[in-house]
Chain A
Amino acid sequence: MKLRKRRKGTKMSQDANSDPRLEVSAASDQDIQAVHASLLHDQKEPKEGFSLMPLFVLGFVSSMIFVVAIYFIHNRAGLSDGLALATTIHHPGYDPQVHGAGDEEVEIDVFAVGQSLYGQACIACHQVNGQGIPSAFPPLASSDWVTGDEERLIKLVLHGLQGPLEVNGAQYNGIMPAFGPSGIYQWSDEKIAYVLTYIRQEWGNEAGEITPDQVTAVKEATASQTGAYTAADL
């Protein structure tokens, strides 16, 4: 059934076959199919000796599966999360603007977020240690303005504060910008609440938390306020 046996029946003129512009075929389509079909299905032909090939292939395939399985298990980081996420990755209605923060309630560390917000704005004047700069910016640490009346603190952060001010016995005359809707920062009620909670609990201050609802309430109550407060107003 080998092709080379079939070839005995053919007569080829070898001289014409040396032309590179032709490609001589050594087997017809029927021969190819017949031979390979018999290789695949015909088990009748007796075989001499013992063929190593099937054994080698079995060993090769098994060892590949073994090695790759170990490799995969060792490097599968994120697979479980990935499978869970796979259903949401391609959702036609998915819009990161809307769904970015996730639909579920997120547990946040108010103190850490407040610290981060402090680092974005307040730190420039009040400094990393909350001590401010003598005769220019008042301290926040151990300041009655910070740890004292909650409503007064919320008001001055929302609308700003300017003019003469006495803190811990020292006199200041500067400008505190507004962080609420009237100012340039436009911070949300949540951001203001978090940063206030932070400054009330850092540097040895031990005052209570301020919630976003408190900020909202003060904001609505002082909606008619235009421009910054002075110390006298408060």
Chain B
Amino acid sequence: MDSNSSNTPATAERPDSAVIDASIKVPVLFFLYAAAAWLVTASVLGFIAAAQLVQPAFLADYAWTTHGRIVPLARNALIYGWGFNAAFAVLIWMVARLCRTPAPKWGTTLVGGLFWNVGIKLGLTGIIIGQSTGHVLLEMPGYAAAVMFVSYGIIGAGVAIIFSRRREGSMFASQWYGLTALFWFPWLFTIAQYTLVFGSMRGTAQAVASAWYGHNIYALFLGPIALGALYYLIPKRVGRPITNYPLAQIGFWSFVFFGSFGGLATLVGSPVPAWVQTVGVSSNFMLLIPLFAIAVNLGGALLGGTKAGGSGPALKFFKLSLVSFIIVGLLTVVLSLPSFSHTIGLTFVGEALDILHWYAFVSFAFFGAIYFMLPRLIVQPWPSGALITAHFWATVAGTIIVISSLFLAGFAQGAALNDIENYATFADVMGAFSGYLVALAFGYLTLLVGSLAFFVNVVMAIYQACFSKSTASADTVFGSPAAMEVNS
């Protein structure tokens, strides 16, 4: 379906998709492997943390396995390990494809990727031995952050070089989001590290900076890359353009303008100046504009059904991701209203929103993108259909169980905390929601099963790509090489 049918002089000079994919194959496969491995690590740690809420004595005999260290370990492994590695893979592939430019070389990106993961390992070791800084998502000690910052620079430079050599004139919506995120993260990271870890910010300002960073790591880095992937892959998968493309511009610019302040709404009810909380709530209200634009555009493209065949998991993940994006946007607005935040402030509901934002929206988009891109990178189908099915259903079920048990636990907890008549002691409050925590641990166990299925499938795919002696051409591997974009 590529240039054969529409050979204009401009498109004829452009390299084929297969050439582009081959040029970035090694680093992207490395990022995918690292992402899947971290996902399993984070799922194990997340399950241990949830089990400790049910049975506090579980693994409580060693300092490094106590709840206070397992929770930041799980969170950092999930965000910086799985999230960032997957984001790098999706971003590099998406930018190279949409710029129609093969990467000039992949060695430096691979080195950057290796050191990024070394940095995470250093940081997690720091948390294990008790050097955590105590700021959410900045728990890793300063030396690890320095390694991560430099390696991010190397990876980011690789993407910027591809972009600077682009052979496609028009900038598609995916590139707006992806490239903005690329430059947003160093800004977020340096400001947060400077003010909280290396610097001298004090008192209330610490809470503000911490909430700002903790939210923006989703809202300004992982979220935009996930949106970019949806903007690219939904039209590509269903064969129908975005419903109202000019609306996408309004959506993007309002997102850019208001996105970074939304995190301040998590401070509602805490002892920071009222106007800081108001800025957060107002921004979340204004973020309904990009939410509307994205829902109309992507939802409209999806609702018509797919023009291509196939029953792969990518489209299902994209649909769920988009639905989660809409739900989390609306819930963030509704729950930050004072009448709700009075009950649910400082309860499990905050974590439920984080998981909804981070897992059900961002990770589902990444899963879909990975299911789409990996067969093209290795020029072979995914090794196991059964593992795909297992991953999809375990992940969806696990996410639903985790989010709903966190929401129920949070509302029960908030109601009990506000009811001094019937819940006089802390133990009484705990008793009000401890049942939901059993469901939470079960949900994390389900997620772990899904993560293992995904990891095994990714490792088998990479093994096949490296060691398979198959000389079958793309034509025989794929029924329709054109649709797989591998008929070079």
Contacts and interface: CB of A to CB of B under 8 A. Distances in A.
Interface in B271-285: 273-279, 281-282, 285
- Is chain A's binding surface mostly helix, strand, loop or mixed? helix
A75 B373 CA distance: 47
B241 interface: yes
B150 interface: no
B17 interface: yes
A19 B382 CA distance: 10
B473 interface: no
A67 B235 contact: no
Interface stretch (B104-112, B245-253, B396-404): B245-253
A231 interface: no
Nearest to A92: B200
Contacts of A13: 479-480
Contact of A36 (B14, B241, B275, B382): B241
Contact of A23 (B14, B241, B250, B314): B314
A59 B14 CA distance: 43
A90 interface: yes
Contact of A30 (B11, B232, B371, B384): B11
A185 interface: no
A53 B245 CA distance: 12
Nearest to A86: B205
Interface residues of A, number: 58
B372 A23 contact: yes
Contacts of B202: 89, 94, 96
Given A26-B239, A75-B275, A14 B292 contact: no
A32 B240 CA distance: 9
A8 B289 CA distance: 36
A16 B5 CA distance: 21
Interface stretch (B31-39, B42-50, B157-165, B166-174): B166-174
Contact of B480 (A9, A24, A96): A24
Nearest to B174: A32
B320 to A, nearest CB: 16
Contact of B310 (A22, A75, A76): A22
A80 to B, nearest CB: 9
Contacts of B6: 6, 9, 30-31
A65 B184 CA distance: 25
Interface string B67-105: 000000000000000000000000000000110100000
A21 B289 contact: no
B2 interface: yes
Contacts of B275: 75-79, 82
Interface of B: 1-6, 11, 14, 17, 97-98, 100, 168, 170, 172-173, 195, 199-202, 205, 232, 235-242, 244-247, 249-250, 254, 273-279, 281-282, 285-286, 288-289, 292-293, 306-315, 371-372, 375, 381-385, 388-389, 478-480, 482-485
Given A7-B1, A36-B235, 17 more contacts: A6-B6, A10-B1, A22-B310, A26-B240, A27-B235, A29-B100, A35-B241, A36-B241, A40-B170, A60-B292, A65-B286, A71-B282, A72-B278, A75-B274, A92-B199, A94-B202, A96-B202
15 contacts: A3-B235, A9-B4, A12-B308, A17-B309, A22-B478, A25-B372, A26-B308, A28-B2, A30-B2, A36-B241, A39-B246, A40-B245, A76-B275, A79-B273, A89-B205
